[in-house]
Structure 1
Amino acid sequence: MTKPGAYVSPIRLECVSCERTLPGNFFRGNRYKAVACKECESSHQGLRWCVDCASWLPEGDFYRTGPKQKFLTTRCKPCRTFQSHGITRKFMEELTGSAIASCGACGDSGARLSIDHDHRHCVGELGCRHCVRGYLCQACNTAEGLLKTSQRVRALADYMDRTAMTDEDLASLPASERRGVQRNRRVEGANRTYYSHD
């Protein structure tokens, strides 16, 4: 692997990918060495090693950093989010009981998820391992943030249940008495199409 007479670093590092112990000059970087050797990096073009996931992931899963956004972070975007809350992916999997992230309130797994925490313990955007509760989708996280307490959530749910129209009530009303946007009449002008609100 090395040419005869080439410099061999006295520093020995273990590659996280191939698990071989190699001289330091087999790793990219000067003062701060990469965790995977150059050979492993070249065999995984377009991929980067996440130190928390312990796997090769697409470079788009990492944040760009440094001058002119030239470098990539050592942790993927989800792992950096976990780290900012002082937790790991494994901690969240144990907390939620699943490796698949989904909203703890509505169960949606396709939405953009946020890590939810109790704001009475850690005030602000970031929580800690003591107050993180799980994932919430954007809609549930917004509702939880606006309503603040579980008593207000229950009161709102009770109100909605008490005042909701039944399917029979809706079916008995003529469609002409319903209000809303009816998109049946087009108004053309100024290179745009407007729909009238009747």
Structure 2
Amino acid sequence: MSDLRGSDVKDCPQCGRTLPVTEFHSNVRRPDGLAFYCKRCAASRSEASRRKRGVKEQRKSSEPVPPGSKWCPDCGLIKPLTEFARTTSKASGYHSYCLPCHTARGVESKNRLYGGTREYHLRHRYGIGQAEFDELLAEQGGVCAICGAPDPQHVDHDHRTGWVRGILCFNCNGGLGQFRDNPVFLAEAITYLKGTTWQWTLIHPGVYQRSSKTRGRRPSRSS
């Protein structure tokens, strides 16, 4: 038997067969550069280990999957690849589950781990939970920290440090974003409004005159 052996064959201690080296996975940590068990036995041992650890058996489609398509283990349907989200973490380049099933799994996970998508969103993006949100809103008197509108729902945070600054209404939160959180721009906007907006000026006790301090045009009759 030894004269038949060489660098092209190897024994598998699991099944006792003498097989070509192509039937063994590579393993650079072993002297011969090959895995201890043949591919079939290695797969069997790996599957047994997964069952022992409580990992469910991998499901496969009972029908052939045509090129350009993929089988979803959750809904059991074969769908075009366009129905699966792309990912670089999978060899196929696509997630295991189709878009609707992938979304449903995400919602279930957020409900199970965080009690809901709202709690997940707050903690994932701002580092606070609903309890901290409610506490901060109560400190503001239940209104927007800028305009005083009731029941604001938007968390305002410093984009440089990540620190939460307050709870704002949709308009005020969007306004700060449009001005890029820049105090200079906001101050210039205030100066601009004061200088161009028509205002009521007290000229005698109880008598007011509408005027604009600087430039500006009255709207045309056709506008």
TM-score by length of 1: 0.41
Larger Rg: 2
The higher-RCO structure (CA 8 Å, 6+ apart) is 1
* Alignment TM-score, normalising by the size of structure 2: 0.37
Q: Which has the higher helix share?
A: 2
